[in-house]
Amino acid sequence: MDRRHFLQTVGSLAVATQLPRLTFAQAYDDPADVYARVKGSPDLQLSMPGGNITIAMDGDSRPLDKRRIETWIRRSASAISAYFGRFPVSHWYLLVTPGAGNRIGPATTWGYPGSVTHLTVGRDVTDDALRDDWVMVHEMTHMALPRVPMRSEWFMEGSATYVEPIARAQSRQIPAQEVWRWAVDDMPKGQPQEGDEGLDHTHTWGRTYWGGAMYWLLAEIAIYKHSHGKYRLQDALRAINRASGGNMASWSVMQTAQTGDAAVKGDVLASLYDKLKDRPVTIDLDGMLRELGISEVDGVIRFDDRAPLAELRRSITLLEPSDR
């Protein structure tokens, strides 16, 4: 199952049931059970700058040996740690359940009673699939921001959808073209359709994931313009992570937005939220991509370095020199 169809399937079910994520195993649909299982019988303990990771393997996990799992998790954690400047929570508890086939996911991440994730991995998963996986980084991104009310689930899912490929590109795990491929192909699915009432009131998978991702792309561009290139969205998100401590905190969207805005000396996140939460707003996505110098020619993502925001586009997928 590719990234697009995974998000559509999980998003449709999560929105329909008003759950933060798809709950996929009856025995582990409660975060307290996941937390207790991992803490009670861990199989791996990893340390990252800023946080520790405790992992348990559930069931018959012999095909998924600890070396493969550790390599996969460290690769994902290095990407998210580079983006946020550190691992986003002080302690993360991960339960890996082997499943049939070769898929990675579905996954569920909670912020209570600790920062915990339950993720299914097919017993036949290949090393290449683990190396190229995006699901783990998506889930790790969820840990970085505080929980917000369910009506604003798009805020969280959008941030994970937007940040995940950028974090991987900054760590040179994927090329920049792959980041913007998803913007060209998938972000249009986040535009409002007939009957839309704004992001806080329209809980379709397209609006939740891709409408949310467009909010963050709009913020990325607006922060850059407002600060005359001094700040990036990454600065705002790092500040939110440090102030909240991650997803064990429960904040309003406005508190989260204002914390990020303070770090970049503006009001971009708060004003965009006010603009988009209660009314349908069609975004000029094509215009934004042209400003960034992104186009698709004969099925290939092309970059125009003469575009007005070409420097921003380049900086989004590169770590600043001080962060390398």
Picking from 209, 11, 181, the residue whose alpha carbon sits closest to that of residue 105 is 11
Report the Cα 248 to chain-centroid distance in Å. Answer: 16
Q: Is the pLDDT of residue 206 over 60?
A: yes
Q: How far is CA 31 from CA 51, 114, 125, 279, in A?
A: 20, 8, 25, 34
Q: Is the pLDDT of residue 10 over 90?
A: no
Predicted pLDDT at 3? 53
Predicted pLDDT at 22? 33
Q: How many angstroms separate the CA atoms of 229 and 290, rounded?
A: 18
Domain boundaries, the chain: 3-144, 150-323
pLDDT confidence band for 24 (50 / 70 / 90): very low
Q: Is the pLDDT of residue 274 over 80?
A: yes
The β-bridge partners of 93 are 54, 116
pLDDT confidence band for 8 (50 / 70 / 90): very low
Predicted pLDDT at 182? 92
Q: How far apart are the first and last CA of the chain?
A: 33
> pLDDT tens digits for 81-138?
999 999 999 999 999 998 888 999 999 999 987 899 999 999 899 999 999 999 999 9
Q: What's the mean per-residue pLDDT of the chain?
A: 89
pLDDT confidence band for 322 (50 / 70 / 90): very low
More confident of the two residues 80 and 16: 80
Tokens 């990234």 correspond to what residue?
3
pLDDT confidence band for 156 (50 / 70 / 90): very high
When pLDDT is averaged across residues 305-314 and rounded to a whole number, the result is: 97
pLDDT confidence band for 27 (50 / 70 / 90): low
Q: How many angstroms separate the CA atoms of 85 and 144, rounded?
A: 11
Q: Which residues 6+ apart lie within 8 Å of 251 measured at CB?
A: 146, 147, 148, 244, 259
Q: Which residues 6+ apart lie within 8 Å of 282 measured at CB?
A: 191, 192
Q: How many CB atoms lie within 10 A of CB 92?
A: 27
CA-angle at 68, arms to 62 and 72, nearest 5°:
135
- Using CB atoms within 10 A of its CB, is residue 319 exposed (0-12), middle (13-18) or buried (19+)? middle
Q: How many angstroms separate the CA atoms of 276 and 203, rounded?
A: 13
pTM, whole model, 2 decimals? 0.89
Q: How many angstroms separate the CA atoms of 98 and 201, rounded?
A: 36
Picking from 110, 182, 149, the residue whose alpha carbon sits closest to that of residue 277 is 149
Predicted pLDDT at 7? 55
In single-letter form, the type of residue at position 270 comes to A
Predicted pLDDT at 9? 43
Strand order in the sheet with 51-57: 44-48, 51-57, 91-99, 115-122, 104-110
